[in-house]
């Protein structure tokens, strides 16, 4: 395939579309029309903070995630407990993770752009998060300091994720508004551990992603 025939396919498709729906209109006109689209759904929730947090916990449990409610000072201790329960000595962390979250006695290995095979060496990874959505039990991670590359939270079998209560929103629309400013970053919405229902509609945890999700919800 040559460059010119590729060009002509582009032109062929676009001119056909234009021939049917008309020339592309200017950005302002399209923008005004978009802004006027009906959006009568609930953008925010009237529920109080406690109800929102309890809903998040309920949804996370529904997906078989473990939830720990902790104060900022208790993060490192809780991490130590989970890690020792799993019998691990080593945990993968992204660059920029808060130092105070790391307990003594556990080796934290910073992700330096490890290859897939090297990532496979790690059983657990510890990260922060951008926000969480109560309504759907969803954690959102982006490529930011403390959250790291998408691959790092994917290959290890256990994901320990720290969520600050102030970053919990009630609804999906609230989450999307908060994410708008960083919409171009690689973003992953995580709702419970990896799961499938492809075999007789039986829900099975952990097909390819992490099989265990531990959420530390910080006051």
Q: Please, which of residues 39-78 interact with other proteins by CB under 8 A?
A: 39-42, 59, 63
Nearest CA to 210 among 144, 149, 142, 161? 161
Q: What angle do CA 194, 200, 204 make, to 5 degrees?
A: 20
- C-alpha to C-alpha distance for 134 and 130, rounded to whole angstroms: 14
Closer Cβ to other proteins, 204 or 219, answer by number: 204
- Number of neighbours of residue 93 by Cβ within 10 angstroms: 23
Q: How far is the CB of 5 from other proteins (least distance, A)?
A: 9
In this structure, the strands spanning 158-164 and 195-196 are: unpaired
- DSSP class of residue 140 equals E
Q: Which of 66, 86, 108, 188 binds other proteins (CB under 8 A)?
A: 188
Closer Cβ to other proteins, 20 or 105, answer by number: 20
Q: Which of 69, 80, 149, 164 binds other proteins (CB under 8 A)?
A: 149
- C-alpha to C-alpha distance for 23 and 27, rounded to whole angstroms: 12
Q: Is 190 in the site for other proteins (CB under 8 A)?
A: yes
Q: Which of 70, 80, 118, 165 binds other proteins (CB under 8 A)?
A: 118
Looking at residues 153 to 172 of the shown chain, list those that interact with other proteins (rule: CB under 8 A).
Answer: 154-155, 172
Q: How far is the CB of 78 from other proteins (least distance, A)?
A: 24
């Amino acid at each position: 395939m040559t460059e010119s025939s590729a060009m002509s396919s582009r032109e062929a498709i676009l001119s056909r579309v234009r021939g049917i729906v008309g020339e592309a209109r200017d950005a302002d006109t399209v923008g005004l029309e978009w802004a006027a689209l009906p959006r009568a759904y609930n953008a925010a929730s009237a529920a109080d903070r406690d109800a929102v947090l309890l809903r998040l916990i309920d949804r996370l449990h529904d997906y078989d995630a473990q939830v720990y409610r902790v104060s900022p000072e208790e993060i490192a201790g809780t991490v130590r407990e989970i890690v020792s329960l799993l019998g691990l000595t080593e945990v993968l962390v992204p660059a920029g993770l808060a130092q105070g979250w790391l307990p003594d006695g556990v080796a934290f290995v910073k992700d330096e752009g490890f290859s897939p095979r090297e990532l496979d060496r790690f059983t657990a990874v510890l990260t922060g998060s951008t926000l969480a959505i109560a309504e759907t039990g969803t954690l959102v991670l982006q490529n930011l300091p403390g959250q790291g590359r998408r691959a790092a939270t994917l290959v290890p079998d256990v994901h320990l994720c720290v969520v600050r209560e102030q970053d919990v929103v009630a609804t999906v629309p609230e989450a999307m508004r908060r994410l708008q400013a960083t919409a171009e970053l690689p973003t992953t919405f995580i709702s419970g551990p990896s799961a499938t229902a492809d075999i007789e509609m039986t829900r099975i945890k952990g097909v390819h992603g992490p099989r265990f999700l531990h959420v530390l919800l910080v006051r």
